[in-house]
Structure 1
Amino acid sequence: MLDDIKYIHRKDADDALGVAAKQWDQLNYDFDLSSLPKTFSPISNVVYAGMGGSALGASLSSAWPGYNRPFEIIRGYDLPSYVGPETLVICSSYSGNTEETLSCLQQAIKSKSTVMVIAGGGKLVELAKDNKLPLVVLPKISQPRYAVLANFLATVRVIEQAKLSDTKQMDKTIVATAKYLKQLQTDWLPLVPVARNKAKKLALDLLGTSPVIYSGPRLASAGYKWKISFNENAKNVAWQGVYPEFSHNEFIGWSSHPISKPYSIIDLVSDFDHPQINKRIKISAKLLSGNRPHPYTVHIKAKNVLEELLGSVLYGDFVTIYLALLNGVNPTPVELVEKMKKELK
């Protein structure tokens, strides 16, 4: 089925695979940063308001390049009480109409904090222009979850401008990572048969199961993206957990469940986590053998944190799109999300 190109084109009517295959090029996007201040008021902490894929760009940026100030992501309606004049608040929504993010933006304006907006359009852009706020406009892409790398890069540009990271040679690393991702994904493309396509193989192995994705802190944001992609692309419920916290509580939960339960385990392994993390992953697999399904290990070989992080994200997109096709669904539409928005009005 996954080697039948006609079937792929029929089910993938909105060309999710084609969109996924172009994501690497988002790292080359030249953002208009002219509205950003040349110098910033003193910043003591950073708060990023966003939901779903929009929040994910921030989550990825906390793994690379990281922040030299306290940093928090708000996935909800309200900013924390500590937000004040020395807080940088970044409000991000691809559509620009996400009600939680709009609520946070209105609170941020009242708080007299430094406020910036990252959006693709909608009310968020209108409010930014009306209030003369610094604004970074995202490129047009079919779905927010496929604009994650653009959102990530926009966030990195803000970090760079505000001097919120100590990472050197940032541009060089980003350009090299774009080239790396373009090459990395060639083995996952639709024309590559199942026999040589790891993304197709993993999708076939996961069919009929509810995946649980585990990783250490370095790949936690990639694991979160896998969870999003299973749910939105494959219409297949999935969950995520993070080591070492997993081995302090959730680890025990698996011990009482028979192996026949319809779960699958995916371990995202990093070469850049604390060495004890990978030990915990291996020991967990040994101690839970027979009580839970044997884990599938995903280990993206890379030269640095950014390549590994974004390579893991892209691999998850291909796996979950192929799983959508196996499930007989179009990966792109998220009709229930749209129905929820209408019901909330």
Structure 2
Amino acid sequence: MMMQEGRHPLDEMVARHKEAQRVCAAFLEVLRMDNESSLQWRGAWAEKTPARQVLLMADGATFPVVASVQQWLLSCASTPVIVHAAGQLPAFVGPDTVVLGISYSSQPGSSGTVTQLCAAARQKGARVHHIIMHKDGGSYDVTDSQLAISLHKAVPWQIQTIRLWWWVAAALQQLGVITGDLVQEISAARQAATTFAETLLPHVPLQENLAKQIAVHSYGKAGAFYVAPELASLAAIWQQAWQVTAKTVATAEYYPVAYNAAPGWTGQPIMKPFAVIDIASEHTGQSTAMKQLAKKLSGQRPQPMLVLVPGKTMAAQLMQGTVLAHLAASYTAVLHGKPLAADEVMRRLLA
């Protein structure tokens, strides 16, 4: 009874919020649902395709997590890996390039889509493959150079983009583009992320739940995220999570860009409605640049909350930082009385 009386209001709200309960429980299933035993590569996927460079071509919905995968690949691969937002096909694409398109659902009728750019890359002689996160269908479907992954029905699509970590690693390893056991490393990182996610679930009280603590810190404010350089790609992931799931305005910067943008705070009242969050690796702690910025802006911006992301490897840190972003944004949505699913307007903007 005493524990019930001592519960934070957010704990009570989440306990009564059926959508949050369902989504968070299913999120663990999402982290476990993709594995090698379910794959039967065929068509162009079954051909080894060595290349001088790899181009990851993503749409607005998938770009943040694909950029995070790229940051990890650059740390462990000798083959150059470039990430490109769908728009115009880069001029360097040619026969020595493997193009991996990555998008949320297929919209072949609209201009500038990943589907059309994949076709253009194929005409230039590139070896092209396309992963599509699809709303319908079975668990996955392979047709020649396309791989369609269906979504878990209980989890909003934007939260499921974390699955692309495993699928991109599996595809590049299958194609022989990058040497090394990418799948094994991602599987280990995903297991660590699952264990971490279990500490952030609805039944874990606020005083022990980092995601809930971030939500309380962010209540009624716009998010302002400052990310350490070793986790730079998390900036876009946190911003997208806040905008799409929490339905809240957010900005995000990574160092040293954040330090250069610091003058934007000068002259602003300290009580301006921003929830400032510094995100760094638990392994390395705050960098010198982060400490210098905090000192420089002392008294110029609201007191930041320091969030240390756990993980023994870069892949584990980036994946756990992504898990934390999604669950913290989900609890922020609960506090703000917003649904967790992305509305159609935001979905179209990110397509």
- TM-based fold match above 0.5: yes
Match of 2:104 among 82, 87, 94: 94
Per-residue CA deviations over 1:35-87 (Å, capped at 9, x if unaligned) read 314321x5222222212342234222212233423332222321111211111
Shift of 1:33: 2.6
Shift of 1:296: 1.3
Q: Structure 1 stretches of 5 or more lacking a match?
A: none
When residues 185 and 92 of structure 1 are mapped into structure 2, their CA distance, relative to the original with a 3 A threshold, is: same
The answer (yes or no) to whether the contact 1:92–1:117 under 8 Å persists in 2 is yes
Per-residue CA deviations over 1:249-269 (Å, capped at 9, x if unaligned) read 202222232212111221110
Identity %, equivalent residues: 22
When residues 254 and 282 of structure 1 are mapped into structure 2, their CA distance, relative to the original with a 3 A threshold, is: same
Aligned twin of 1:72? 82
When residues 172 and 83 of structure 1 are mapped into structure 2, their CA distance, relative to the original with a 3 A threshold, is: closer
Give SS of 1:239's match.
strand
In the TM superposition, 1:1-345 aligns within 5 A as 1-4=9-12, 5=14, 7-9=16-18, 12=20, 15-26=22-33, 28=35, 30-35=38-43, 36-40=45-49, 42-66=50-74, 67-97=77-107, 99=110, 100-121=113-134, 133-142=144-153, 143-166=156-179, 168-247=180-259, 249-270=260-281, 278-338=287-347
Per-residue CA deviations over 1:130-183 (Å, capped at 9, x if unaligned) read xx74233324234432222321211111222344435x4544433332332222
Per-residue CA deviations over 1:213-261 (Å, capped at 9, x if unaligned) read 12133312222111111001010011111112222x2022222322121
Give SS of 1:20's match.
helix
Give SS of 1:61's match.
helix
When residues 245 and 82 of structure 1 are mapped into structure 2, their CA distance, relative to the original with a 3 A threshold, is: same
Shift of 1:32: 3.3
Amino acid at match of 1:80: P
Amino acid at match of 1:54: T
Give SS of 1:157's match.
helix
The answer (yes or no) to whether the contact 2:53–2:96 under 8 Å persists in 1 is yes
Q: Distance in 2 between matches of 1:89 and 1:272?
A: 34
- Structure 1's consecutive aligned runs of 4 or more residues displaced over 6 angstroms after TM superposition are none
Q: Give the paired residue count.
A: 329
Shift of 1:121: 4.2
Q: Structure 2 stretches of 5 or more lacking a match?
A: 1-8
Give SS of 2:272's match.
coil
Give SS of 2:298's match.
coil
**Structure-1-length-normalised TM-score:** 0.85
Shift of 1:203: 0.3
Shift of 1:26: 4.1
When residues 339 and 71 of structure 1 are mapped into structure 2, their CA distance, relative to the original with a 3 A threshold, is: closer
Per-residue CA deviations over 1:278-318 (Å, capped at 9, x if unaligned) read 11001111111110112211112222112111111101111
The answer (yes or no) to whether the contact 1:50–1:91 under 8 Å persists in 2 is yes
Amino acid at match of 1:24: L
Amino acid at match of 1:82: F
The answer (yes or no) to whether the contact 1:206–1:264 under 8 Å persists in 2 is yes
The answer (yes or no) to whether the contact 1:54–1:144 under 8 Å persists in 2 is no
When residues 134 and 232 of structure 1 are mapped into structure 2, their CA distance, relative to the original with a 3 A threshold, is: same
